[in-house]
Chain A
Amino acid sequence: MNAHVKPATELSRRSLLKAGAGLVLGVYVARSGIAFAEDAPAAKSVNIVPNTFLVIGKDDTVTVLCKHIEFGQGPFTGMATLVAEELDADWAQMRADHAPSNPVLYKNLLFGVQGTGGSSAISNSYEQMRKVGAAAREMLVAVAADEWKVPAGEITVEKGVIKHASGKQSGFGAFAEKAMQLPVPANPKLKDPSEFKLIGKEGAVKRLDTIAKSNGTAEYTLDIHDPGTLTVLVARSPRFGGKVASFDASAAKAVPGVFDIKEVPNGVAVYAEGFWPAKTARDLLKISWDDSKAEKRGTDQLLNEFRALSKTSGALVKQEGDVEAEIAKGGRLIETEFVFPYLAHAPMEPINAFIHWKGDTASARYGSQFPTPDHAVIAQVLGLDISKVELKTILAGGSFGRRAQQSTHVAMELAQAAKAIGPGRPIKLVWTREDDMRAGYYRPFGVHRMRGVVRDGKIVAWADTIVGQSIMKGSPFEAMTFKDGLDSTAYEGSNDIPYAVPNFRCDLHQVDVGVPVLWWRSVGHTHTGYAVEAFVDQLLEAAGQDPVEGRLAMMADKPRHAGVLKAVAELANWKGAKVEAGRARGVAVVESFNTFVAQVVELSMGADGPVVHKVWCAVDCGVAVNPDIIRAQMEGGIGFALGHILYAQQTLDGGVPVSGNFNTYRSLRINEMPEVEVVVVPSTEKPSGVGEPGVPPLGPAVANAMAKLGLPRPTQLPIRPGDTA
């Protein structure tokens, strides 16, 4: 392959040919500087033609094309670590960028389409990316052997340098072109973990995206200003399911800078030269809405309905023994109702997306978390063959699940807005914070009614009736997540508690509400983790048992749960610590996405509610690839969880979402962030994710610490609902 730029079609054909042979590697000479060099002066996204996972530049840079979106959880660094390890690259030569949309090459091995979610980035790429690195290494060594006329077995690779005892040495770039001509080894030899130099090593790598994110050069969708770009704001129905009845745009049209105003399926779209004219004009639209099919219930009404349902049995999820018979036998019956609010994800960068429809072709660029369905829907709305549509994922300012849109509603709105004014001008669809907060796609509202029986110091019966909305119903993931007509993400964590209780029942009322809901950082565990862990603590207290010892006694066949629980107890010195007067500690342990996390919280009560001083955290995520990123995700997960447990809820008044911004949807601030200490439990299990699992244990650990101070465990979240900024 030559160093000059090849047309896109040729490159993609070549790499597809290679991929078609069952291979996951392409090596070609980079056509230009690629983002996210530690030393890159300006990290602007560069569109890369569909290639595979690896680009070796003539300048020795090694760029990993990451099939997972980078929105803070660290896949750029993670994927590059896996490749660099097997390639024996020097960390300083590593780069990363997003792979373009191509489900054949870049599907998530967990879902079969390209997408990020379920804390799956590392777990589903661990072997795949190591093989990419190992294959490239073998190919480079083969070229060196040929050039130097020495046996391949005598060649070593260390920190990006290919060497032979004769004194010959070279970087990767010089051999990249020739390596490209070789067949890709299908089963390259992988290192034994004892040989790892980067994976799991403290301080071996630094995040690849830090510099660009510290000097303002990292490019997000909101930053796209391609020449001629119009900013689009859409006025949407205040109620879910409302439609435009009629509208008057005369005042809005008169705003200088407004280019056009069109009705779109979701509402009325304003196209303008920049955000401010678009916003000013949108505020001047006079729209009357047809609410005949809209959801008009408020959260108070939903609560009454859910509460009534929770007092009856739902569809059976799991049963062991006979809970009712055990209750009839006597003992202490404890019943607790937990109420969970709707929660917005409110990523720091609100939803947005960019597209340039040129007529015969279109190219879109934004933080798409599920490129495959997004790509298809854009092509469909514009009436183009998918091969004529490009979709490039770029950095996103957080997600917490929000950008993984199984409904493809943002891609659809983007394409519909483009379609409404026709091809020509690029458009950037921008949502304001209020749009983002009031648009739904919330963590579902729900109720858990728990009943438990304690007899002779033991928990002998446990029942959990859940009332909630299905996240997956009607989505492409329904088939994968539904069991017996029920959405398993509505009860995950409640049906498989880690505690051996002889009589057990979990049932679910799956309720339809006209409010769009979505997975929210740790999905079902956001509520099941709280219900289970606050309730088990309550029962153990009634049984007169220590929260740690009592849990461990019921976890005989749950070694990894027990492992993190013991680890956190040791880290926090649970037994021996002298806790300051006025303070107390609580504990919780939750497994989610095959990662096990236990946390101990120490808090005191301030004038307005709990003040969390410190959190100790133990995590077992199998082989720890990047220990510092794991710690960062635990710290962040803890802060994210704490803010929501204390303050956050979206209420609906007659179907209209009330909170529109951070003044009422309060977020954790730095002065409220506890000190955090994390221990990563050593493990040789398959690596599992860390983006979500730090979240679930924090809430119940707070509740359990409050109980230690003699207060009731909060049963309706958030703990401080009236608190605004």
Chain B
Amino acid sequence: MAAFTLKINGREHQIDVDPNTPLLWAIRDNVGLTGTKYGCGVAQCGACTVHLDGQTLRSCSLPVSAVGKSEVTTIEGLNSKEGGAVQKAWAALDVPQCGYCQSGQIMSATALLELNPKPSDQDIDLAMNGNLCRCATYVRIRAAIHAAAKSLEG
């Protein structure tokens, strides 16, 4: 066990855990933020996607000891204008079905738009193909990303 200070959504959290604990479980079980999901534990599904210093990260595959001073953003702390546009587009198109993958989808989609305000279909494929959706809501995810990009233009 060891003490760590995690900076999540702008707040510091002290936790005392096994240094190998994946960031995902520290966020969920120790910090108590449950919007970030577990789907595979091996960086294959993207349900656990968070932002680490603004970049997408599969939180199931990074030990807490490697986070250091980096800033973590989870779905609960998503407040960029791109994040808001993505969430609005998700609602307008009723993207989610079971919803379980959608925090991860939204984190990836937001990071994409923060980097690339006008992504092509191919850009979307590249940015989003690490996020599985077993309900296969992909048609709407794609449409919603384009819609969010459009809403950010004006």
- Provide the bound-state CA to CA distance between A671 and B18, in Å: 37
* B32 partner residues in chain A, CB cutoff 8 A: 225
* B98 partner residues in chain A, CB cutoff 8 A: 71-72, 347-349, 395-399
Given A214-B96, A397-B100: A274 touches B30 (CB 8 Å cut-off): yes
Out of A273, A636, A725, name the residue touching B44 (CB < 8 Å): A725
Using an 8 Å CB-CB cutoff, how does the interface string of B14-33 with A read, 1 for contact, 0 for none? 00011011100100111011
* A265 partner residues in chain B, CB cutoff 8 A: none
- Provide the bound-state CA to CA distance between A346 and B135, in Å: 10
Using an 8 Å CB-CB cutoff, how does the interface string of B108-128 with A read, 1 for contact, 0 for none? 000000000000000011101
CB-contacts of B95-109 with A (<8 A): 95-103, 106
Out of B1, B74, B94, B139, name the residue touching A628 (CB < 8 Å): B94
* A297 contacts chain B at the CB level, 8 A cutoff: no
* A433 partner residues in chain B, CB cutoff 8 A: 39-42
B interface: dominant SS:
loop
CB-contacts of A56-76 with B (<8 A): 71-74
- Most chain B beta-carbon neighbours within 10 Å: one of A347, A662, A668: A662
* B76 contacts chain A at the CB level, 8 A cutoff: yes
CB-contacts of A666-725 with B (<8 A): 667-671, 673, 675-676, 725
Quick one: closest B residue to A73, CB to CB? Answer: B97
* B59 contacts chain A at the CB level, 8 A cutoff: no
* A9 contacts chain B at the CB level, 8 A cutoff: no
* B81 contacts chain A at the CB level, 8 A cutoff: no
Q: Contact between B39 and A219 (Cβ–Cβ < 8 Å)? A: no
Stretch at the interface among A112-120, A468-476, A479-487, A638-646: A638-646
Q: Contact between B91 and A663 (Cβ–Cβ < 8 Å)? A: no
- Most chain B beta-carbon neighbours within 10 Å: one of A73, A223, A348, A640: A348
CB distance from A409 to the nearest CB of B (A): 21
- Provide the bound-state CA to CA distance between A636 and B136, in Å: 5
* B18 partner residues in chain A, CB cutoff 8 A: 256-257, 276-277, 280
Q: For this complex, into which size category does the number of interface residues on chain B fall?
A: 35 or more
Q: Contact between A275 and B29 (Cβ–Cβ < 8 Å)? A: yes
* A277 partner residues in chain B, CB cutoff 8 A: 18
* A400 contacts chain B at the CB level, 8 A cutoff: yes
- Provide the bound-state CA to CA distance between A639 and B47, in Å: 18
* B30 partner residues in chain A, CB cutoff 8 A: 274
CB distance from A55 to the nearest CB of B (A): 23
* B91 partner residues in chain A, CB cutoff 8 A: 206, 210-211, 214
CB-contacts of B76-97 with A (<8 A): 76, 78, 87, 90-91, 94-97
* A638 partner residues in chain B, CB cutoff 8 A: 136
Quick one: closest B residue to A396, CB to CB? Answer: B98
Quick one: closest B residue to A642, CB to CB? Answer: B136
* A73 partner residues in chain B, CB cutoff 8 A: 97
Q: Contact between B44 and A210 (Cβ–Cβ < 8 Å)? A: no
- Provide the bound-state CA to CA distance between A256 and B2, in Å: 11
- Most chain A beta-carbon neighbours within 10 Å: one of B42, B74, B106: B42
28 A-B residue contacts at CB 8 Å? A209-B99, A210-B91, A214-B87, A214-B90, A216-B36, A231-B29, A274-B25, A276-B20, A276-B22, A346-B134, A348-B132, A349-B100, A350-B39, A395-B98, A396-B98, A397-B101, A398-B100, A433-B40, A628-B94, A636-B136, A636-B137, A640-B135, A643-B136, A669-B129, A670-B124, A670-B125, A671-B125, A673-B136
Given A209-B96, A396-B98, A671-B129: 8 more A-B contacts, CB < 8 Å? A210-B95, A214-B90, A276-B21, A276-B29, A639-B133, A662-B44, A669-B138, A670-B141
Which A residues lie at the B interface, using CB under 8 A?
A: 71-74, 206-207, 209-220, 222-223, 225, 231, 256-257, 273-277, 280, 346-350, 395-400, 432-433, 628-629, 632, 635-640, 642-643, 661-663, 667-671, 673, 675-676, 725
